[in-house]
Structure 1
Amino acid sequence: MAVNNPRGLPLSVDGEGLKKGTRVGEGALRECAAYLLDHPKKGRRSFSGEALGFAGVPPTVIVKCLHSGFNHPDGITPKIGSLQKFMDNNGSCEDMGPSAFPVGEVHKIAVLDMRMANADRHAGNILMSKGEDGQIVLIPIDHGYCLPESFEDVTFDWLYWPQARRPFSSETIEYIKSLDAEEDIALLKFYGWDMPLESARTLRISTMLLKKGVERGLTPFTIGNIMCRETLNKESVIEEIVQEALDFVLPDSSEDAFLETVSRVMDRRLDEIAY
């Protein structure tokens, strides 16, 4: 839906992408953001740290490419996109049922998706590989619809997998506790993406929900259901929380004041769910 797209598809009328809350032409930025924010278990993403993070998002970079074959009626112009390291795999999760997937592998994907408010997680964009011990390793790819400006289209296929109803391990809980949305926003800005306020708000709220959820012992299934709509026309719990906070604060309130209100509303709703 972008200008000069290679298939000549109709352009987006208002700049919105195929998923609500996403913008045409920003997919590459989000692909890189998913990699940068997938911090390794041992600490924050750094310049010379581990290549793979907690969820195993393949290394991803922004590239600029020039080619006469690009669809550009006005002449040859460089195009910008994302380049991702190829990962050896045995197909995607669409190729087999989820029963053989290790719980920890499903949970690492769940943590990434909930934190990034992924609007396009399905079995086809989770690759399967084999680790050194022969166990299945899941590799998340295709993150062009993460960090949307709203929660309307957030969707997680793993919600329907039995592993999602299992509690997080202590190691995963410690990892979640170490997450810091403000540091993440600063990291993305350092690498060149000054996130729109709405996307930064999404990251702050989803990180807040994930951390508060594990404090109450909630499973990925319960937290994920808070973020996803039951039906197309029924708002999710997280959307209700955001709207209640918006209704409560004054129009000229600061972002900090709004987020503090979100936190209080979220505490009440989570307590109702947990207890």
Structure 2
Amino acid sequence: MEQIFPTLTNLPAQIASHLQSMISCLENLDLSAPLPQYLSHEHIFEIRDSTNRLRCLFKRFRDDDEEAARKEVAVYLLDHPPNSHRSLSETVYGFAGVRPTVFVRFRCNSEVVMGILVEFVDEAYVIDQDYYHWPISTDDIQSIVLLDIRFGNMDRNRENILLKEDEGVAHLIPIDHECSFANEVQAYNCAGFAWLKSKDFGDYGVAFSPDCVTYVSQLDPGADLEFLRHCGWEVEPYYVEQLTIFTMFLKKVVSKGLTAFHIGKIASFWCDDERHNLQAIVDSVVEEGNYIENVGIRMEERLTEYVMLNMP
């Protein structure tokens, strides 16, 4: 491998071992020939182990899109397990169930290619049409809501959620996070979330579970950014600002008892009340001095108003 992110030696041993096993599957292939394509996806390829088991997928990115690939890895790294920070935990899977992801650059078929390896999920399928089979876990829905808001996800459509059945209950697995913090014009207006627009995802008008409330209260964007640097990525200033502000927003709305329905509307183009739209709140603050602190003050004022007007 010519390049890897994160730096495996800077991760907890179990996480590093898991990612290294994925990389080893790639290294053990005949890289003098093209990789086998996965289904009909021209930019996604199969990576199988020595037993021919599909171990992970290689998702190729264009040379000018390296940052998007790294952002997708960052979502895995920052999907902390419950009650611990990823940097301190040997637990492989985090709160939202984002699959292990690692950035790689290597030579294949006489050219240098770049992208990510993502762990493959067996016996799962995409919710790409109306869904009426098993009941969907409310905990899974809420964890994806928190993930999407925290990372300003601009692409949570139905095809970016896998479903895996377990004992008659449908569990959701979020995939494809390259569009985190991807709106260059209105950074705090996310595109319509699939979970906000479809009845198939259950009742998003219920309160967040105690586990969700506790998880959000423990989020620390400063520690997250330091962890990414420690892993080998010095993020751009816009990433620092947006992760900090989205996390601050998430902590405030969850602590105030707002539901996924309210949170999704406030943070998206679907908000019909401009005064309480997240983008409008951020835009109302002059970018000078203690900018992020001032955004937090304005956010607290507007969200308090919103609760008084919209919550029973």
Give the drift of 1:41: 0.8
Match of 2:225? 185
What letter corresponds to residue 164 of structure 1 in structure 2?
Y
What is the DSSP-based 3-state SS (H/G/I as helix, E as strand, rest coil) of the residue aligned with 1:81? strand
Q: Counterpart of 1:58 in structure 2: which amino acid?
A: R
Which residue of the partner structure matches residue 99 of structure 2?
58
Partner of 1:106: 141
Write the deviation string for residues 72-131 of structure 1: whole angstroms up to 9, x where unpaired. Answer: xxxx54222111000113311224427821211110110100101101001111000023
Deviation per CA, 1:168-220: give whole Å up to 9, x if none.
01111001101111111111111122111112111111101110001110001
Q: Secondary structure at the match of 2:250?
A: helix
Runs of 5+ unmatched residues, structure 1: 1-6, 8-22, 69-75
**What are the equivalent positions in structure 2 for 1:125-204 lying under 5 Å apart?**
125-131=160-166, 133-148=167-182, 150-160=187-197, 161=199, 162-204=202-244
Structure having the larger proportion of residues in strand: 2
Question: Helix, strand or coil for the counterpart of 1:82?
Answer: strand
Across the two proteins, how many residue pairs are aligned to each other?
238
Look up the match of 1:4.
none
Against the structure 1 CA distance between its residues 121 and 29, is the aligned structure 2 distance closer, same or farther, given a 3 Å change threshold?
same
Correspondence 1:26-65 to 2 at 5 A:
26-46=67-87, 49-65=90-106
Change in Cα spacing, 1:165 to 1:262, as seen in structure 2 (3 Å) is same
CA contact (8 A) 1:114 1:206 kept: yes
In the aligned structure 2, how far is the partner of 1:152 from the partner of 1:270?
Answer: 16
Cα 1:51–1:27, aligned 2, differ >3 Å: closer, same or farther? same
* TM-fit CA distance, 1:47: 6.6
Q: Is the contact between residue 189 and residue 195 of structure 1 (CA under 8 Å) also seen in structure 2?
A: yes
Q: Distance in 1 between matches of 2:276 and 2:70?
A: 26
The TM-score normalised by the length of structure 1 is 0.80
Root-mean-square deviation (Å): 2.3
Q: Match for 1:268: what amino acid?
A: E
Question: Structure 2 residue aligned with 1:120, among 133, 155, 160?
Answer: 155
Q: Distance in 2 between matches of 1:188 and 1:164?
A: 31
Counterpart of 1:124, as a letter, is: E
Question: For structure 2, which runs of at least 5 residues remain unmatched after alignment?
Answer: 1-41, 43-63
Contact 1:89 1:127 in 2 (8 A): no
User: Quick one: which amino acid aligns to residue 184 of structure 1?
Assistant: D
**Cα offset for 1:48?**
5.8
